[in-house]
Structure 1
């Protein structure tokens, strides 16, 4: 998941990538076994991903994340933001078109992700993404914005 994001980067980025991936695996395991995320993993999420965690978890709770896939195998995540805007996020290349991603992640380098991408990662880890199959033509429209 994150290894593609940080490939070729510094040692610190590689360590952070490994920590984030392990954290999401731990969330998957715990949620699969117990049906909830324990407090220690929620604290770890906050430590690794910062202030966007609460907003991302709110999106997860509201079931605002949909995994959209097509017969050709293309996948995108659509996240209904708190403002009612629908963002198409790409976890495969770690991108969201929201203003917070552009400002906090790309421009200021203050965050690893925005709340929309983090919500998609957490939903995947928990196995609670809403699923939607679309045609290849519909996926082309989604991907082209």
Structure 2
């Protein structure tokens, strides 16, 4: 999944996946561990998951991105394959200050993947090219 994350974070996401598939919930001990590993963005990411704000967009060529509708109403195209989000929090807290592993949008995309809660959208290769280039207009 996320070879850009430290091993402890990857293992934690695997534990969440296993437990969620068995119990359809995340127990308190794993919620605490998520908060410890991923920091203050954890609750916000879980809120995005609860609101079904994450969509996995894929094309027939196999390209895949995650679009996350942020709390402000802005749509962020997140790239879990290279661990990148264009939001200001990612630029500041992850890239510039190195204070966080992820932003809430990337964490929400990871959590939706492991919990199997992603909305799915299939697009043409041409539309995926527009998304990847930043020229796609979100649907009204």
Structure 1 match to 2:84: 95
Structure 2 match to 1:12: none
Q: Partner of 1:91: helix, strand, or coil?
A: coil
Q: Choose the corresponding residue for 1:32, options 6, 18, 21.
A: 21
In 2, the alpha carbon distance for the partners of 1:55 and 1:142 equals 25
Q: Partner of 2:90: helix, strand, or coil?
A: helix
1:125-136 pair list within 5 angstroms: 125-136=114-125
- Structure 1: runs of 5 or more not aligned: 7-16
Residue 63, structure 1, aligned to residue 55, structure 2: no
Residue 52, structure 1, aligned to residue 41, structure 2: yes
Q: How many Å apart are 1:18 and its aligned residue?
A: 1.1
Q: Partner of 1:87: helix, strand, or coil?
A: strand
Q: Residue deviations 1:16-65, cap 9 Å, x none? A: x1111111111111111111001100000000000000100000000000
Structure 1 match to 2:138: none
TM-score after normalising by structure 2: 0.94
Structure 2 match to 1:9: none
Higher helix share: 1
Q: Residue deviations 1:55-93, cap 9 Å, x none? A: 000000000000000000000000000000000000000
TM-score after normalising by structure 1: 0.91
